[in-house]
Amino acid sequence: MTSSRKQLRRSSQPGQAIVLIAFAMVGLIAFMVLAIDGGKYYSNRRVTQNAADVSSLAGLYTYYHVSGGNNDCAVLAKIIQVAEINSIPDSDTTNSTGACTTGAAMTNTNVNAYWINSTGQYLGDSGNSGCGLNTVVTASASETLPACAKISLSTSSSNTPSSATGILVRITYPYTTFIGHFIGQKNLQAQADGIALESVSTTTYDGAQYGTWLGGGATCNDSTNPALSMSQDSHPANNTDLGQTMVNGTAYAGDHVNRINDTQPTGTSVVVTGNTDSNFSSALDNSTFSNTPVPTSPFPRDMYFGGDNTDSSKLIRASFFRPEAGVSGVDDASSYKNSSGTTKSITGAVALSGSSPNNLIFTQWKGAAPSVRPANFYHYIKMSSGDAGDAGDALAQMISDGARGVFYIDGPIDIKNSTDSWTSGIGVSVISTSQVRLLNNNNTLGNAGVWAYNIAVMSDYTPPSTTPSSQCATTNGSANPAITAVGNQWSWPYGYLYAPNGLFTTSSNWSNAGGHVQGPVVAYSFANGGLSESNNFHFGTCQALPDGTASTCGQQPSFTINLNQ
């Protein structure tokens, strides 16, 4: 009896094991599907995301920075090419070459691109039907992106939404499963979106805290040819506030200086790398004096393109601002639009023509998104007679008509007094290839902001001779300066006053209000003279701008394409 029960118990165990194994196999297969096909999905998803990111970046770069790339077709061709290079399969048999063409090379149903604005909204492209140009379009609840916002095959830049600042690329990656087809999932696809946005950022560099920075160096480094003279032509510069000061060379006070930096905060430093006369250090008030070795660069990084003062070729020059003919948003004195949109002209003005291979700062402005760059910003003035007074009259008329921004003066200019303030709106930056004279100008000169490197007045004038007597703060040099300020009262530039190759000289300027240059003076040398008025000069260190906006001295624009996933 007992033996038969044991036999029955043993004979029932093999059947139970088969059932358990069957259930275990189902789970095992499920884990195999998850491990193999799930791993394949995540691998393809990563490939898809990488391709979407890099192709969106390539498309936006093509649009803003590649010659001939500011149209849908060129952008789309580059997006498709980069996606295919990054392992996205072509939906036909012809890969994109990256150039705008027709036929199969421009077709890949796995790659779709859309124009977006800075907040990620889709924008209508007139190369498609269904919505107007620049119209903000929303995606449907099913995540189907709006077809009318697609980057089309149009070769006309007028079909591209002008308010677009970015591109969204949606990529799908179809693939066949390894085990999933046994459970009805033979074909799957990975999908990813890549977004590239262009934005403007600013960076503050080491020159921002300086009121005066002179780069004369070895050229202006003796008592006869100083980098700084505080008693130009026997006119004493009384009660002068230089602010934080760097003089690369010698400094000369003379016999007439009363006080230097008397209203500056205690501890303001005045650094002179060369020698000084006996009166210089004794005239300092509230400032420490020191001698240091000549710095690596004669100018602050602010004054180098992109802030790179390791490359002397990047020192900002007037040619960097030169506008090009035929670019939207550029006026010249021969035909310009006033603030009401009326086209006007100035007799004797030469029309802008051609382009310059060195206009690096202008090129950045031109290449940036229309929504972040100021419009009608660049202006060109050149007079057929070459007369500095005529150029000044043209400048005054354009400003009076409401023009603001960068004024590129191809030649010398006399900036004279007018009834129009230069501070309203975006401000004015005067960039001259030659000499600039500020004559009896009682208005406040603003600056056009980071797009103009916060320069209020720039002279790129280089004396015919580069000898010390021509470039330094000497009596001989003062007859041939880059920037001259004579007879000015009350109002001086907000922003940089910049003469990288020559002398800045002052004489007979006065004010009992103490308001003068409200931004740094950056020049090769400085001959400072005036009348015996109190607070004769005050060189501010990036004070608030006259329109109430925050100080932007020492900030430059850097243009970057930010990748957001």
Q: Are 288 and 228 found together in one domain?
A: yes
Confidence band, pLDDT 50/70/90 cuts, at residue 11: low
Query: Cα separation of 40 and 186, whole Å?
Result: 13
Confidence band, pLDDT 50/70/90 cuts, at residue 51: very high
HSE at residue 511, side-chain half, CA atoms within 13 A, is 22
Q: Residue 476 has what pLDDT? A: 55
Beta-strand pair 521-528/483-486:
unpaired
Q: Is residue 2 part of a domain?
A: no
Placement of tokens 């921002």 in the chain: 208
Distance of CA 250 to the CA centre of its chain: 35
Q: Are 96 and 50 found together in one domain?
A: yes
Is residue 489 within 8 Å of residue 442, measured between CB atoms? Answer: yes
Confidence band, pLDDT 50/70/90 cuts, at residue 238: low
Confidence band, pLDDT 50/70/90 cuts, at residue 560: very low
Tokens of 391: 């150029």
Q: Are 410 and 317 found together in one domain?
A: yes
4, pLDDT greater than 60: no
E strand spans, 261-398: 268-272, 287-290, 330-332, 336-337, 343-344, 378-381
484, pLDDT greater than 90: no
Please give the helix or strand (H or E) that residue 199 lies within, else none.
strand 187-204
Q: Residue 258 has what pLDDT? A: 62
Q: Are 34 and 74 found together in one domain?
A: yes
Query: Cα separation of 235 and 390, whole Å?
Result: 30
pLDDT (average), residues 508-532: 66
Query: Cα separation of 88 and 65, whole Å?
Result: 25
Q: Is residue 496 part of a domain?
A: yes
Q: Are 324 and 274 found together in one domain?
A: yes
Q: What is the pLDDT of residues 176-206, one digit of tens each?
A: 877 666 667 778 888 999 998 876 555 444 4
Coil, helix or strand at residue 247: strand
pLDDT (average), residues 14-24: 69
Beta-strand pair 378-381/330-332:
parallel
Placement of tokens 């004010």 in the chain: 511
Q: Are 374 and 493 found together in one domain?
A: yes
Q: Which range marks the domain in which residue 411 is found?
A: 205-564
Using a pLDDT cut of 70, give the percent of the chain over it. Answer: 74
148, pLDDT greater than 70: yes
Q: Is residue 41 part of a domain?
A: yes
Q: Are 195 and 221 found together in one domain?
A: no
Q: Are 234 and 292 found together in one domain?
A: yes
Q: Are 168 and 222 found together in one domain?
A: no
Q: What is the DSSP string of 435-503?
A: -EEEES--SPB---GGGGTTEEEEE----S--SHHHHSSSTTGGGS-SEEEES-BS---SSEEEEEEEE
Coil, helix or strand at residue 536: coil
| The domain boundary residue, chosen from 183, 203, 223 | 203
Q: Residue 561 has what pLDDT? A: 40
The total number of structural domains in the chain stands at: 2
Q: What is the pLDDT of residues 68-110, one digit of tens each?
A: 777 899 999 999 999 999 999 998 878 888 888 877 778 899 9
| The domain boundary residue, chosen from 168, 203, 238 | 203
Tokens of 131: 């919505």
Coil, helix or strand at residue 64: helix
Q: Residue 528 has what pLDDT? A: 80
Q: Residue 115 has what pLDDT? A: 92
548, pLDDT greater than 50: no
CA distances from 317 to 321, 450, 458 (A): 8, 16, 9
Query: Cα separation of 537 and 194, whole Å?
Result: 55
457, pLDDT greater than 70: yes
Query: Cα separation of 232 and 227, whole Å?
Result: 12
Q: Is residue 3 part of a domain?
A: no
Q: Is residue 508 part of a domain?
A: yes
**Crossing angle for the helix pair 38-65 and 72-85, nearest 10 degrees?**
150
Tokens of 144: 């189907």
Query: Cα separation of 102 and 93, whole Å?
Result: 14
Tokens of 164: 């677009």
Q: Residue 350 has what pLDDT? A: 95
252-266, 437-451, 503-517: which has the minimum mean pLDDT? 503-517
Confidence band, pLDDT 50/70/90 cuts, at residue 297: confident
Q: Is residue 5 part of a domain?
A: no
245, pLDDT greater than 70: yes
Q: What is the DSSP string of 250-266?
A: -EE--S----BSTTSPT
Q: Are 121 and 38 found together in one domain?
A: yes
Q: Is the dihedral of CA 54, 60, 65, 66 positive or negative?
A: positive
pLDDT (average), residues 529-542: 51
Q: What is the pLDDT of residues 157-180, one digit of tens each?
A: 778 887 788 899 999 999 887 766
**Winning range, highest mean pLDDT, from 234-238, 332-336, 445-449:** 332-336
Q: Residue 523 has what pLDDT? A: 93
Query: Cα separation of 298 and 501, whole Å?
Result: 11
Q: Which residues contact 153 (CB under 8 A, 6 or more apart)?
A: 72, 73, 76, 102, 106, 127
Q: Are 384 and 277 found together in one domain?
A: yes
Tokens of 69: 């790339």
Q: Residue 302 has what pLDDT? A: 77
Beta bridge partner(s), residue 455? 496
Is residue 252 within 8 Å of residue 472, measured between CB atoms? Answer: no
For residue 541, which of 520, 516, 522 has the smallest C-alpha distance? 520
Confidence band, pLDDT 50/70/90 cuts, at residue 134: confident
26-40, 196-210, 389-403: which has the minimum mean pLDDT? 196-210
Q: Is residue 468 part of a domain?
A: yes
Q: Is residue 8 part of a domain?
A: no
The more confidently predicted of residues 393 and 555 is 393
pLDDT (average), residues 4-20: 59
Q: Are 199 and 226 found together in one domain?
A: no
The more confidently predicted of residues 536 and 502 is 502
pLDDT (average), residues 426-441: 85
Q: Residue 99 has what pLDDT? A: 87
| The domain boundary residue, chosen from 182, 203, 224 | 203
509, pLDDT greater than 70: no
478, pLDDT greater than 70: no
pLDDT (average), residues 413-433: 72
443, pLDDT greater than 80: no
Confidence band, pLDDT 50/70/90 cuts, at residue 565: very low
Mean residue pLDDT of the chain comes to 78
Q: Provide φ and ψ at 50, rounded to 5°.
A: -60, -45
